[in-house]
Amino acid sequence: MEVRRVPAGVYAANCYILMDEETKEAAVMDPGGDADDLSKVIKEMGAKVKYILLTHGHVDHVGAVTELKDEFKAPVYINEEDYKMISNREYIYGDIIGKVDGYINEGDSFKLGSSEIKVLQTPGHTPGGVCFLVDNMVITGDTLFAGSIGRTDLGGGDYEAIIRSIKEKLMILPDDTIVLSGHGGQSTIGRERVHNPFL
């Protein structure tokens, strides 16, 4: 599995492009902006975009959804609770009304070549926040960072919920699971279990 991290948009949110090296099938996760730059990387990789997957609905994680969906004709998936926030035009949520093809929930999965992307429902940063588990990696969006956690003071945020999500869904993963978060560099579950001050 080839993984490309592209910080995108004004907040440099990490967009991850995961591509099966044999089939070239790819998932684009959290395209937050700079659609032209993301498109260029996708084409350089020779990737065939099969899905656009969203950890949550904040504008810095969905800013390039419309352009990439239109260009690559790929379906877009998000949890319904965050789509409700988007539909209600809540502050800081992006505008992708009419661009979502389906809702994702705990236990859903997406095939990418020989790998499977599994959905973990992790509310807290937003009501419909999810993480994506694939191979030995977990894409955590703004739920878990290296040495920190996502903020919960924005619309729909819930501090107790995010701590519960991290402990019940992420901290049960193997120590060597690579954490690919929505901002900043990568970590591992083991490192966060020991060193993250919020845990």
The confidence band for 83, taking pLDDT boundaries of 50, 70 and 90, is very high
User: Could you tell me the two tokens for 129?
Assistant: 């926040």
For the chain, the domains span 2-195
Q: What percent of the chain is predicted at pLDDT more than 70?
A: 100
pTM exceeds 0.75, yes or no = yes
- How high is the pLDDT of residue 174? 98
E-state strands within 20-60: 25-29, 48-53
What is the reported pLDDT for 122?
A: 98
Q: Are 129 and 141 in contact (CB under 8 A)?
A: yes
Per-residue pLDDT of 26-60, as tens digits, reads: 999 999 999 999 999 999 999 999 999 999 999 99
The string of DSSP codes covering 160-199 is HHHHHHIIIIITTS-TTPEEEESSS--EEHHHHHHH-TT-
pLDDT tens digit sequence for 108-139: 999 999 999 999 999 999 999 999 999 999 99
Q: What is the pLDDT of residue 87?
A: 97
Contact 55, 180 (CB under 8 A): no
Cα–Cα nearest to 133, from 102, 114, 106:
106
Decide yes or no: CATH 1.10.3720.10 for domain 2-195. Answer: no
Distance separating alpha carbons of residues 69 and 99, to the nearest angstrom: 8
Q: How far is CA 18 from CA 41, 50, 153, in A?
A: 12, 10, 31
